[in-house]
Amino acid sequence: MIFFDIEAGAFKIDLKEYDLLPSYFVAFLNLGKGMELYLFEKSNGTLFYFNGKKRIGISKEELHSKSNKIFLLVENENKIDKKNSSQFLKWLPLILVSSLFIYLIFYKAYNIFHLVFLLFSIFGTFLSIVALKDMIGIKSEFVNNLCNPSATIDCTSVINSKKWKFFDYVSFSDLGLLFFTTQIFGYFLFLLTNNEIEFFNLQKLLVYSSVPFIALSIYYQKFIENKWCTICLSIIAILVVQLVYLTMVYEGVSYPGIESLALLGLAFFSLIVAWQWVKKVLLKQKELQEFYIKGKRFARNYEIFKNTLVTGSKVTYPKTVFEFGNSEIKNHITISTNPFCGYCKDAHFLIEKIFQKHQNDLNLKILLNVNLDSEDNEERKDFCRKLASIYIYESPQLFLEAFHYWFAQKDISIWNKKYGGFQIAEDAGKILKSHNLWALNNKFQFTPAIFINNYPYPRKFDRENIPYFMEEILEDDNW
């Protein structure tokens, strides 16, 4: 949970409280192999647990008897999912093009029988896309419920199965997508040439030729994979409906001419080339996403982080630092910063946020690495002295507020209107000089420089990862 920055807690829950469980939770379950950790889902009052990619139903009484009654519950922060918004914008051009394409077909096509057939094709295309949910990254509770309603139904197992060598080259989902998109695109081409009747003669032959594939799919699900795929069965149902529909509406079969075959072939092979390119991009994107997650997991591995951290040399701070929180607390985080440093704002806000979250268990130290002797701007010198004086004469809390306000505004005249009236302390310049000399002597001239328990934060690790390490740092007694 820390890795994903998710608030969570472990609770002991009685059977009578199971109705209060959230939609997803984690618990230990004994299925004959000892206590093992499983992800659970509660959907419409029914409980399921995931064993690999299988979604298996379980009663409340069975869960109660086979678990240790300890549940890991995740806090729902009701955050706005900005990623969904960016994903929508990414797909917006494709949606617009598809919408215009469909509008043109419906606008030019005046025959209601043609439109009904196209609706079947569009729905088949939709189901074929859903069948590729793992590749595309579709996350939907509706799709999950559709694909895994019971132990005998598992769309993922069937669609991703490679038990026949044939599926190393092409899958049922590929065939379905190419078949239905060829119907839509082919109809558009035949519509432009005013040859719709020839198109439907071709489709009648093609739908009849799909019967062996339908039988093959049913056989594979029943006897080879021993699982049913609701998406595959739905696609089969559409093909059967199309077959019946074409038989009823267009009686008899007339064999198409060479031009019609060439036109439909153009549509089909164009879509094959396009799909090969799109599929390659989607697989690459999925691979990169998996690599990204593995990279994040490595970068946020606490053991690796700590081992890297403690290889550095411990530092001793100046006698006087700006300190916040209980100085007796063993864990502390320190930042050497410069108010005029362009990179220090984000680092300051990050450390400030960490301290606010853990201020009962964490001590914060701030060093102001500013060289007053080389600073020609008197206004800047006075600002730094006033900031230090607020800590000396007023309070650490007011210092933090004033420093936060500075980074938020980055304008001395605005800052002075709120905090410029404080008297400058005699020791302010001396303290600032000691901080600057300390940085020079210890070769920490760059800012911001962050230290955890006197160890310099490793440059190999992004400082944005500090919050993910903080919980384990505070729980670690071996420092």
Residue 235's H or E segment, with its range, is: helix 230-249
Per the DSSP assignment, residues forming a β-bridge with 363 are 332
Give the rounded distance of the alpha carbon of 314 from its chain centre: 37
Tokens of 234: 């739905």
Rounded (5°) CA angle 328-300-304: 80
Among candidates 39, 107, 105, 100, which has minimal Cα distance to 74? 39
**What is the spatial order of strands in the sheet that 455-456 belongs to?**
322-324, 363-368, 332-337, 449-452, 455-456
278 HSE (CA, 13 A, CB side): 14
What is the pLDDT, as a whole number, of residue 173?
84
Please, which residues have CB within 8 angstroms of residue 467's CB and are 6 or more apart in sequence?
5, 350, 353, 354, 357
What is the pLDDT, as a whole number, of residue 132?
86
Residue 165 is given by DSSP the state: G
- Based on the number of CB atoms within 10 Å of its own CB, is 121 exposed (0-12), middle (13-18) or buried (19 or more)? buried
Q: Three-state SS for 42?
A: strand
Give the rounded distance of the alpha carbon of 169 from its chain centre: 30
Please, which residues have CB within 8 angstroms of residue 181's CB and are 6 or more apart in sequence?
125, 128, 271, 275
Query: What percentage of the chain's residues is helix, strand, coil (to nearest 5)?
Result: 60, 15, 30
The CA–CA distances, whole Å, from 246 to 242, 243, 478 equal: 6, 5, 75
d(CA 75, CA 85): 22
Residue 313 is given by DSSP the state: P
Q: Tell me the helices (H) and strands (E) count for the chain, helix number first.
A: 18, 11
Query: Tell me, what amino acid is at 112?
Result: I
d(CA 130, CA 144): 10
Q: Are strands 332-337 and 363-368 parallel, antiparallel or unpaired?
A: parallel
Tokens of 67: 């678990």
Helices 302-309 and 466-475, packing angle to 10 deg: 80
| DSSP-H helix ranges across 325-395 | 344-358, 378-389
Among candidates 83, 136, 129, which has minimal Cα distance to 286? 136
What is the pLDDT, as a whole number, of residue 69?
84
- Based on the number of CB atoms within 10 Å of its own CB, is 462 exposed (0-12), middle (13-18) or buried (19 or more)? exposed
What is the pLDDT, as a whole number, of residue 81?
46
Which segments of the chain have a pLDDT < 50? Answer: 1-5, 77-83
d(CA 270, CA 265): 8
C-beta of residue 362 within 8 angstroms of C-beta of residue 332 = yes
